[in-house]
Amino acid sequence: MRHSHLGKLMLILVGLVGALQLASHLTSRHAIHDSLVEDAARELRIGADIFSELLGHHATQLSTPSRMLAMDESFRQAVIADDVTTINNALTGLASLLKADLVLLSNNQGRLISPQRAAAPRNLPQDRASRVDYLILAGQAYEIVMIPVPDTGQNDWLVVGYLLDEALVWNLSQLTNLDVSLLSTTGRDLIASTLLPEQAKTAASWLANTNHSSEPGQAVAEGANFLFLTLPLSDEVSAVLQLPMERVLAPSHALDRQLIWLTIAGLLLAVLAAVLLARGISRPVTALANAAQRITSGHYNTVMAVRGDDQFSALAKAFNAMQGAIAEREQRLVHQAEHDSLTGLPNRRVALLLLEEAIKDGKPFAVMALDLNRFKEINDALGHGVGDQVLGVVARRLATNTKERDLSARLGADEFLLLLSDVDTAQAIHVAHRIRDRVVQTVELDDLHLNVEASIGIALFPEHGTDGETLMRRADIAMYDAKQAGHQVAVYQPGWDERHLRRLSLARDLKEALINEDLHLLYQPKAALRDRERIGAEALIRWHHPTLGPLRPDEFIVIAEDAGHINRLTRWVLKAAVQQLQQWHREHLMVQLSVNISASDLQDEDLPGFIATLLTNAEVEPQALCLEITESSVMKDEYQGHAMLARLKGIGLRLAVDDFGTGYSSLSQLKRMPVDELKIDKSFVLNLDHSDDDAVIVHSTIELGHNMGLEVVAEGVENRETVMLLESFGCDMIQGFLLGKPMSATELAVWARAWLEQPRIGEQSLSA
């Protein structure tokens, strides 16, 4: 009887142990399954982030050079003139530079120019904002960037793209450890896939019949079970990231086998010692379920304790190994999403998060925006490979010259961000100069020795902002101020936001003013000291802003240069000046008019033809127009500058070197410049009657000019004594307030006629 009860008890205990084991097995299996599926879904989402970041990187690579070509004046003129050869050459060069698979010029009026004979994208946008899109063209898929070509009057777009092909999806697959497929949304056809051909055929079937969503889902077709995530790239192209469920659930198979053996072992031991075995089995099974639940929740730091060398220990080891592998893979993917792949530094998103954390801490800190000067010249001259190496060297120098508690990050291109903890303004400036001195050291790459320069802008918390975006923006503003002013380091000052916004507003308004011709010219008279019949004037541009009133030329001209409007501004001045010359000459007033041109104008290959056309249409002799250039503008690109001056001289224009004595050209360079006159800067003339040093400089400059066969003009003449000295030195012409301040065209005509009727200069005319 006792044996019967004992047997029943043993059966009950064994049954209870078995049921417990089975329940634990099912619970663990379910938890593991959910954990693995959730991890796989997380892996799909991280893969989607990397996928989007790579495509965004492609778009950035395409956008910047393409936008530069679209804004290039020569290219725009070729587009307006429908110069197919020039456009094709430019497109071919852009394709070669970017290694682009597609490059073309197109519009909604039917224009299509492409050296690759590509098809035009349909439904070009009507607005003028740049676009990134993914299209099917001639049966192939492309990631394209559409850049508007401004002011052609034909809604032209520059279209540049990379082919979405097998190479791309294999690259993405290696980065994400996922299968990647690209699908034609309209035709439901596979464009490219990393799946095996049989799997790709199956995938095409269920992709075409599955309702896609922004969340990971499962699909089954013809025995193939996949976990997938759809990324709609455009109306025509979708990307699908895939994980075979067989691979997702592979780690659970070994655990299943171990759990089965564990259950069998538990049942056998329960026959001998049910109570002890029940207690011995329940604890590790509970720990196993808890561990599975922790993995499901995404917690990987708690390691299961391993005691002994039994099946539960092996299972715990397997759990620990699986947990570690999942944590390592997730950490690697997160690191790739949060760090710059080139330098290894944190990216903009992470930098902003760390800034917000520092703000919550409440302690003062400094944000520095560091930008390399003329880095584009390195990329253009030596290639992006060398540029990337330079960025890597700079990143390492920044990392080694910041404290452990500080942050260095790459924001993009050649701009870096640094966060310095517990510093005031003086300390931040000191550290900025120290860091800049370390960065600007020569970079040695094989046989290359490159000089790297940098500008740094500083914004301080909480003085200059209480949120990360504001601090980063104001550090950027300070950096651009340092760059434009030629300083090494600049600290943000109150009001610079308004100045920055004012500059942006004026750049926009100046473009409208050029279109609406809201500008006007004033004329400052010039006169010869010996020949009364020779009179001239310098054309000076003025802008009366509708809301801000009169603006200083040095303010809006600098804005025009920074915004890329300077060539259009110069052409407007030249057009207005030639029209005024035409009017004066019709009134038998023979005035020689001078116009200033910039360094950027010397890069405008179409400028000589434009001026020649203006003069021909107005029937004005070329000698009536004098172009004034500074020494420094020619020296920015000496070869191009001399070549352009020769072309301008070739159409009969007079050329003058303005502000002579303030530049840095040598006499040998001046001798090679095909100019007709020198204009002595007014800084040497204003105090000529009181300064012996200025008198020596001016006298020597006049003799130098005459010895080189040049006419000499003195600016800044304001009194009779200065005129007498200049006449004794042999100066040819004068200009300044003594003759007259800048005046309208009508006033200049009145002044000129009165001047021609006065006695010889130096007598009654200027002796009163």
Q: Is the pLDDT of residue 621 over 90?
A: yes
Check: CB of residue 649 under 8 Å from CB of residue 620: no
What was the pLDDT predicted at 274?
A: 56
DSSP string for residues in 735-768: ESTTT--SB-HHHHHHHHHHHHHS--TTTHHHH-
Q: What is the CATH code for 72-163? A: 3.30.450.20
Overall average pLDDT of the 136-160 stretch = 85
What was the pLDDT predicted at 518?
A: 76
Q: How many residues does the chain have?
A: 768
Q: Which of 286, 285, 287, 267 shows the shortest CA–CA distance to 277?
A: 267
Give the confidence band of 2 by pLDDT, cuts at 50, 70, 90: very low
Give the confidence band of 568 by pLDDT, cuts at 50, 70, 90: confident
β-bridge pairing 591-596 and 535-545: parallel
Lowest-pLDDT range of 268-282, 411-425, 490-504: 268-282
pLDDT tens, position by position, 394-448: 888 887 767 766 788 888 888 888 888 888 889 888 888 888 888 877 787 777 7
Dig out the tokens for 242 from the structure. 């895939």
Give the confidence band of 226 by pLDDT, cuts at 50, 70, 90: confident
Inter-CA distances, 41 with 134, 231, 301, 479, 638, Å: 25, 14, 20, 42, 60
Look up the CATH architecture of domain 167-248: 3-Layer(aba) Sandwich (3.40)
Please, what is the Cα angle at 671 between 665 and 676, to 5 degrees?
Answer: 105
Overall average pLDDT of the 520-547 stretch = 87
What was the pLDDT predicted at 666?
A: 54
| Element at 478 (helix H, strand E) | helix 468-485
- Identify the top-confidence range among 41-50, 472-481, 588-597: 588-597
Lowest-pLDDT range of 381-395, 524-538, 709-723, 750-764: 750-764
- Identify the top-confidence range among 52-56, 109-113, 291-295, 425-429: 425-429
Calpha distance 343→564 (Å, rounded) = 32
**286 or 370, higher pLDDT:** 370
Domain ranges for the chain = 2-35+250-338, 72-163, 167-248, 348-494, 522-542+572-763
pLDDT tens, position by position, 171-217: 888 877 888 888 887 656 778 888 777 766 666 666 666 655 567 77
**122 or 113, higher pLDDT:** 113
3-state secondary structure of 99: coil
Q: Is the pLDDT of residue 5 over 60?
A: no
Overall average pLDDT of the 559-583 stretch = 84
Q: Computed from CA positions of residues 497, 498, 499, 503, in that sequence, does the dihedral angle turn out positive or negative?
A: positive
pLDDT tens, position by position, 44-63: 788 888 888 888 887 888 88
β-bridge pairing 224-232 and 217-221: antiparallel
Q: Which of 470, 458, 546, 554 shows the shortest CA–CA distance to 505?
A: 546
What was the pLDDT predicted at 699?
A: 92
Give the confidence band of 592 by pLDDT, cuts at 50, 70, 90: very high
**582 Cβ contact list (under 8 Å, min separation 6):** 618, 619, 620
Lowest-pLDDT range of 8-17, 18-27, 521-530, 598-607: 8-17
Give the confidence band of 1 by pLDDT, cuts at 50, 70, 90: very low
- What percent of the chain shows pLDDT beyond 90? 16
What was the pLDDT predicted at 21?
A: 67
Calpha distance 219→223 (Å, rounded) = 10
What was the pLDDT predicted at 626?
A: 95
Check: CB of residue 684 under 8 Å from CB of residue 693: no
Give the confidence band of 714 by pLDDT, cuts at 50, 70, 90: very high
What was the pLDDT predicted at 523?
A: 94
**400 Cβ contact list (under 8 Å, min separation 6):** none
What was the pLDDT predicted at 767?
A: 37
Check: CB of residue 633 under 8 Å from CB of residue 602: yes
Give the confidence band of 651 by pLDDT, cuts at 50, 70, 90: very high
Q: Is the pLDDT of residue 631 over 60?
A: yes
Q: Is the pLDDT of residue 524 over 70?
A: yes
What was the pLDDT predicted at 762?
A: 46
Calpha distance 171→194 (Å, rounded) = 10
Q: Is the pLDDT of residue 746 over 60?
A: yes
Give rounded-to-5 percent helix, strand, coil for the chain: 55, 20, 25
Residue type, 443: V
Overall average pLDDT of the 684-708 stretch = 89
What was the pLDDT predicted at 584?
A: 93
Give the confidence band of 627 by pLDDT, cuts at 50, 70, 90: very high
- What percent of the chain shows pLDDT beyond 70? 78
Lowest-pLDDT range of 80-94, 339-353, 615-629: 339-353
Q: Is the pLDDT of residue 7 over 60?
A: no
What was the pLDDT predicted at 131?
A: 82
Fold of 522-542+572-763: TIM Barrel (3.20.20)
Count CB neighbours of 682 within 10 A.
17
**106 or 631, higher pLDDT:** 106
What was the pLDDT predicted at 526?
A: 94
Count CB neighbours of 388 within 10 A.
13
Q: What is the CATH code for 348-494? A: 3.30.70.270
Q: Is the pLDDT of residue 222 over 50?
A: yes
Q: Which of 758, 705, 756, 755 shows the shortest CA–CA distance to 730?
A: 705
Check: CB of residue 287 under 8 Å from CB of residue 320: no
- Identify the top-confidence range among 115-119, 422-426, 428-432, 579-583: 579-583
Q: Which of 266, 208, 198, 273 shows the shortest CA–CA distance to 240?
A: 208
Residue type, 662: T
What was the pLDDT predicted at 667?
A: 66
Lowest-pLDDT range of 85-89, 285-289, 570-574: 285-289
Tell me the CA end-to-end span of the chain in Å, nearest whole number: 147
Give the confidence band of 81 by pLDDT, cuts at 50, 70, 90: confident
**258 Cβ contact list (under 8 Å, min separation 6):** 311, 314, 315, 318
Calpha distance 510→493 (Å, rounded) = 26
